[in-house]
Homo-oligomer: A and B are copies of this chain.
Amino acid sequence: MFTRHPGNPLLRPPAVRPSRTDLEVIGTFNAGAALYQTETLLLLRVAERPTNTPPGEIWCPYYEAGSLQFHVVRRDDPTYDTRDSRFVQNVQTGDLWLTSISHLRLARSRDGVQFMIGDTPWLLPTTPEEAFGVEDARITAMDGVYYVNYTAVSQYGIATALVATRDFVNIERLGIIFPPANRDVTLFPQKVRGQYVSYHRPMPGMFGRYNIWLATSPDLVRWGDHRRVLEASATGWESGRVGGGAPPILTAQGWLSIYHAADRSDRYALGAFLTPVDEPARVIARSRTPILAPEAPYETRGFFPNVVFTCGAVVQGDTLRLYYGAADETIALAETSLSALLSSLLP
């Protein structure tokens, strides 16, 4: 179905200038995508970690009042569980600290393949709810405004926040739109029946699988009318979780959504589903097998192996260009015919 670009991965960590001299970039992945004027824009997630830390210590970065701080944990401190390289956890309080921190970075391209990556962050963690990073931007254009929702991570949990921009320079913050634990939000590019619509993915903890829900809003800030849309399966490639990927794409057949699914081994693949234009909670066709699964070396090896994960696609004519994070480390591109993708979905 999809053809991977021969230049993949398009964007790798060495191409990204760190936001500070005491940090190194370990991942550039999970990018929101949009067509803006004559360019393709990506909002990259850039993950960084401190360099030159003492071998016996783990320095966990976080932002406080706009300033980068480090929570230092000694590797031999029995209060902390340090076995997972991605985080440390205080076993007495349960408090978690991440070993890396993400911000959003703008990249721009005339051909959608060769990208100029900004030298400085586009959005840095600012609020207390973003102290551990901002991740996984999705871009939705409506009436000349580009809405960017992203994951805000902190000691308060994983939430979804929203900002708006007209020019990708001036940014207006609209706050937390889905409280913890909720991520993988995809905002529709137009109202349905007079309301804004988004898919969201609550994380219900020990009760319940990770399913895709729909919500509606009068103002993009207050969301409700929650309904389930797509559920993780009991077995197979969708048995671990499902969650929103690229924001829904309006087609002649209805709303096309490309989403991610993981199995119980945390292998992340992509699927697609279709809903009527005026009934975005009702799935009328979907992929029974992945439309893209980790197979290329840069997908099966990396920071977190066996992951393809999208936050954005752009459509020009019948061509759908899918930008996706590979192995939580790089950005790759795959293309398909929109009509062929739609035809492949089964009722």
Residues of A whose CB lies within 8 Å of any CB of B are: 89, 93-96, 128-129, 153-159, 175-177, 179-182, 200, 202-209, 211, 213, 215-219, 221-228, 234, 239
Query: Once the chains are docked, how many angstroms separate the CA of A179 from the CA of B182?
Result: 9
Q: Which of A154, A177, A205 has the most CB of B within 10 A?
A: A205
Q: Which of A93, A96, A207, A213 has the most CB of B within 10 A?
A: A207
Cβ B157 vs Cβ A226 within 8 A: no
Cβ A158 vs Cβ B204 within 8 A: yes
CB nearest to A93 among chain B residues:
B234
CB-CB under 8 A from A209, the residues of chain B are 94-95, 155-156
- Beyond A93-B234, A128-B228, A157-B204, 9 extra complex contacts between A and B, CB < 8 Å: A96-B208, A158-B204, A158-B207, A158-B208, A181-B202, A205-B205, A215-B222, A216-B222, A223-B224
Query: Once the chains are docked, how many angstroms separate the CA of A177 from the CA of B225?
Result: 7
Copies in the complex: 2
CB-CB under 8 A from A158, the residues of chain B are 204-205, 207-208
CB-CB under 8 A from A205, the residues of chain B are 157-158, 180-181, 203, 205
Query: Once the chains are docked, how many angstroms separate the CA of A27 from the CA of B159?
Result: 35
Min CB–CB distance A49 → chain B (angstroms): 18
Cβ B155 vs Cβ A181 within 8 A: no
Query: Once the chains are docked, how many angstroms separate the CA of A215 from the CA of B153?
Result: 19
Cβ B200 vs Cβ A157 within 8 A: no
CB-CB under 8 A from A228, the residues of chain B are 128-129, 156
CB-CB under 8 A from A213, the residues of chain B are 179
> Which of B94, B207, B222 lies in contact with A180, CB distance below 8 A?
B207
Cβ A207 vs Cβ B224 within 8 A: no
21 example contacts (A-B, Cβ-Cβ < 8 A) are as follows: A93-B239, A129-B228, A155-B208, A156-B208, A156-B209, A156-B211, A156-B228, A158-B207, A175-B224, A176-B226, A179-B202, A180-B205, A181-B181, A181-B202, A181-B204, A203-B205, A205-B205, A218-B222, A222-B222, A222-B224, A222-B225
Cβ B211 vs Cβ A222 within 8 A: no
CB nearest to A161 among chain B residues:
B226
CB nearest to A204 among chain B residues:
B157
CB nearest to A220 among chain B residues:
B224
Cβ A207 vs Cβ B93 within 8 A: no
CB nearest to A180 among chain B residues:
B204
Cβ A207 vs Cβ B175 within 8 A: no
Given contacts A202-B157, A217-B222, A224-B221, contact A207 B177 (CB under 8 A): no
Min CB–CB distance A156 → chain B (angstroms): 5
Min CB–CB distance A190 → chain B (angstroms): 18
Query: Once the chains are docked, how many angstroms separate the CA of A224 from the CA of B205?
Result: 21
Query: Once the chains are docked, how many angstroms separate the CA of A292 from the CA of B53?
Result: 48
CB nearest to A207 among chain B residues:
B157
